[in-house]
């Protein structure tokens, strides 16, 4: 067995109304002047109410609120956020939102504590020391950013995503309150859930996975297949919301320690170029990436599918039908897993082609350019099968 390191220092607090405990959590962490990062829609929808009440009750005064995070955060946003936090002397951060908000909180924390421009810390382990306490409350169930050591921030000028990776970027505490997800629309619920499923499936087959990540991936897959449709169709179903939220966090811990792969490399590339939603883009590429990886890890897909069958064959329809039985042959069982992914994708009513999400018809030169960029994405280095530029072009064409 290959040596590995598994590290997940973020404390996880799960439960309905746990958002009301944020003030006490921050005080325990030594925070006195909180900086709250979120987006305008969440503020308008009242999603921050519990957090703000909690901060007030804990005597943490009027927090400074930055609610200008766009769906795909960028360097300008991070610089504005950290400047505001510095201006008000903030010493801790609360991020309430999806992956973009949480990543903004992480990146702003770098600029808040360390001197220099945020770009000086781009890379892996380039943050030299501990940052301010960071408490995160995800309002989507997908990115896993609440437990990851990475922040992705867009560079609008260069159409690229910058990666900041460091153990110091792990949030101090992740508060998983399923009630914060109640207002998440069906399409976003489905898209973010497919993002989490992509984390679990890609990590399970990555070159750098390990037994601890594997266990998290398998359980995460089970919970997502079991409950994502329900959470999508019945947003007020707290059990389904809880299940997908926990599954997303588990997949986040897994991929932080085990990596992702070709699907993420392609989704990062297309997303940066055409502003497509990360979860939807992952969902579109996932079956194509799995088919490509079949040659290297059919036995892993088969193992996952057989485990899922054992757990889900008695699940309510349609899920039970997808996992009614597994083939004895690895390649066929692997294909069954890919088909189950497609079924879930369709059941969640997400687009299945790049052309359906705003990616225009591409010339051969444009496809080649995208493929070259994807071939240098950091996610692809963990992929179980080496992919050439031609392989990536083929997948891009198929997914369009």
Partner 1 sequence: MAVFCNSDELHHVMDMLWRRIKDDPGMSGKLVEAKLIVQFRYRDPEGTLTIDCSDGNEMKIIVGPTRLKPVIEMSMKADIAHEFWLGKVNVPMAIISGKIVSRGPTPKALALLPVIRPAYTLYPQVLQDAGKKSA
Output 112 or 260, the one with its CB closest to partner 1: 260
For residue 127, the minimal CB distance to partner 1 (Å) is: 10
Output 38 or 210, the one with its CB closest to partner 1: 210
Output 131 or 229, the one with its CB closest to partner 1: 131
Binding site for partner 1 (CB under 8 A): 2, 4-5, 120-126, 160, 162-163, 167, 207-208, 257, 259, 375-378, 381-382
How much helix, strand and coil, in percent to the nearest 5, is found in the chain? Answer: 60, 10, 30
Query: Among 144, 121, 109, 146, which residue's Cα sits nearest to residue 35?
Result: 109
Q: What angle do helix axes 186-205 and 262-274 make, rounded to 10 degrees?
A: 140
For residue 168, the minimal CB distance to partner 1 (Å) is: 11
Give the total residue count for the chain. 400
d(C-alpha 75, C-alpha 159), whole Å:
12
d(C-alpha 61, C-alpha 379), whole Å:
41
Output 50 or 162, the one with its CB closest to partner 1: 162
Output 109 or 375, the one with its CB closest to partner 1: 375
Beta strands in 101-149 (DSSP E): 123-124, 134-138
Contact 257, 217 (CB under 8 A): no
d(C-alpha 152, C-alpha 141), whole Å:
17
Please spell the DSSP secondary structure of 4-36, one letter per residue.
-------EEEESTTGGGGHHHHHHHTT--SEEE
Output 29 or 389, the one with its CB closest to partner 1: 389
């Amino acid at each position: 067995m290959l040596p590995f390191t598994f590290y997940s220092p973020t404390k996880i607090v799960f439960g309905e109304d746990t958002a009301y405990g944020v003030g006490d959590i921050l005080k325990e962490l030594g925070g006195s002047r909180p900086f709250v990062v979120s987006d305008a829609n969440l503020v308008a929808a009242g999603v921050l109410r519990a957090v703000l009440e909690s901060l007030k009750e804990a005597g943490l005064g009027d927090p400074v609120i930055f609610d200008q995070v766009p769906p795909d955060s960028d360097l300008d946003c991070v610089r504005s956020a950290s400047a505001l936090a510095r201006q008000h002397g903030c010493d801790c951060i609360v991020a309430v939102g999806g992956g973009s908000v949480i990543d903004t909180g992480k990146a702003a924390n770098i600029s808040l504590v360390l001197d220099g421009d945020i770009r000086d810390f781009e890379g892996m382990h380039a943050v030299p020391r501990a940052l301010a306490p960071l408490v995160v409350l995800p309002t989507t169930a997908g990115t896993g950013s609440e437990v990851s050591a990475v922040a992705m921030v867009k560079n609008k000028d260069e159409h690229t995503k910058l990666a900041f990776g460091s153990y110091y970027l792990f949030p101090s505490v992740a508060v998983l309150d399923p009630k914060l997800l109640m207002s998440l629309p069906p399409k976003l619920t489905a898209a973010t859930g497919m993002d989490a499923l992509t984390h679990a499936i890609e990590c399970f087959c990555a070159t750098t996975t390990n037994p601890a990540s594997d266990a998290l991936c398998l359980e995460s897959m089970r919970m997502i297949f079991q409950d994502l449709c329900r959470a999508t169709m019945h947003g007020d179903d707290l059990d389904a919301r809880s299940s997908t939220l926990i599954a997303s966090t588990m997949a986040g811990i897994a991929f932080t320690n085990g990596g992702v792969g070709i699907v993420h490399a392609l989704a990062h590339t297309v997303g940066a170029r055409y502003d497509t939603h990360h979860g939807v883009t992952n969902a579109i590429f996932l079956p194509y990436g799995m088919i490509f990886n079949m040659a290297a890890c059919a036995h892993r897909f088969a193992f996952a599918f057989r485990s899922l069958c054992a757990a889900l064959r008695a699940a309510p329809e349609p899920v039970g039908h997808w996992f009614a039985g597994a083939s004895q042959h690895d390649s066929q069982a692997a294909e069954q897993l890919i088909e189950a992914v497609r079924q879930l994708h369709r059941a969640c009513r997400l687009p299945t082609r790049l052309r359906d999400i705003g990616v225009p018809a591409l010339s051969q030169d444009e496809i080649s350019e995208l493929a070259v960029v994807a071939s240098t994405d950091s996610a692809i280095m963990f992929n179980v099968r080496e992919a050439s530029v031609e392989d990536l072009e083929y997948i891009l064409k198929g997914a369009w």
